[in-house]
Amino acid sequence: MKTPLFMLYMIGIILLLTITVPVAAEMSTITSISPSVGLTGTITTVTITGTNFNTSSVNVRLMKDNVNITATSIISHSSTSIKCKFSIDSDETIGTWDVVVVNKDLSEVVDEGAFTIGKTMTLTSVSPESAKTNDNDVTVTVVGTGLSEVENMYLYNVDYDNITADIISQTSTKVIGTFDLYDADIDNYDICVEDSVGTIKCGLDFEIVTDEVGSIEVVSSPSGAKIYVDSAYTGTTPYTIEDVSIGSHKILISKTGYDDWSKWVTVKLDSKTTVNADLYAIQTTTVPTVAPTTVKTPLKANTVKVPTPWPTDTPTQASSLEPFVILVAVGMGFVILRKH
């Protein structure tokens, strides 16, 4: 009988310990970060996936050499996902940074070197914009911004292998390199640069053209006109342009005081194409000067005010009937007196 009681006693103790002793919380983990690259001078939204993140409150920061970049905002989070924003200064150190997630209880999980900060780069121009295949020493200059960390420059086309340049010099605004275009495929390519942490920037067009060439002889009347081949100035007439790639080219001839002259010509292998241009003087239209017309203003009629005459004492001449009327009146008066 004692044995069952003892067993019940022991079970009770075990249950009590189970209830009163706290269970250690499971550690958080980070499984992925997307995107894993941010550029200087930008605001980057990052999604961190993992396990056991605190659902009520978390904090996220990037850390490198005791420098921290704290997330400016936590957009959303759950136990398995955190979406946050980082504001990366333009002068921030490029390279790999640790990602640190801090839970509400101040426990941390660190993913070392999981995020890379790269330099913001822009490409504005490339010179020249084309070169002939089989030329093994083509010097190309790329101009832009944020290029101080560039370690690689290459020509990219999805159908071919990259053609990499040997970098001669570089600054924050310019990279100069040489390309070996021996046996390179004739096509259009993108100029791309890559910095020391693998940030890639593409966007400028570069064309590899045929090395089969001919020439164009250009003369004009009058002579001394400027010649442009595909918008590039080549000389003044008369002039023979050598080593022009075979195919169609636009010739433009320009001289001050004359209308521009242009034409498409076809250059053939090892042959000379002749262009004769008759330039026409610009016609200027002279507007005749019109003599001013004098319009006489009509004279305004003078209005003369005649003064009203003063009254005079000159008696009005009596009518010839007046004596007769007087005699009749006197006669009638005499008759009346006699009757009385």
| 296 inside domain | no
**CB atoms < 10 A from the CB of 285, how many?**
4
Specify the 3-state DSSP secondary structure of 153: strand
Domain boundary among 250, 278, 306: 278
Same domain for 131 and 95: no
116 within 8 A of 97, measured Cβ to Cβ: yes
Q: Over the stretch 216-241, which tens digit does the pLDDT of each residue have?
A: 999 999 999 999 999 899 999 999 99
For the stretch 158-181, pLDDT in tens is 999 999 999 999 999 999 999 999
Q: Is residue 315 part of a domain?
A: no
In a domain, 35, yes or no: yes
- Residue 41 sits in the same domain as residue 113: yes
Full domain range(s) for residue 245: 213-278
Query: Does one domain contain both 131 and 108?
Result: no
**Residues contacting 253, CB < 8 A, separation 6+:** 218, 220, 225, 226, 227, 228, 237, 260, 261, 262, 277, 279
For the chain, where are the alpha helices, taking DSSP H only?
A: 2-20, 322-339
| Average pLDDT across the chain, whole number | 85
Report the Cα–Cα distance between both ends of the chain, in Å, rounded: 195
Domain end, chosen from 153, 180, 209, is at 209
Cα–Cα–Cα angle for 263, 264, 269, rounded to 5 degrees: 135
Dump pLDDT digits (tens) for 31-78. Answer: 999 999 999 999 999 999 999 999 999 999 999 999 999 999 999 999
At which of 175, 209, 243 does a domain end? 209
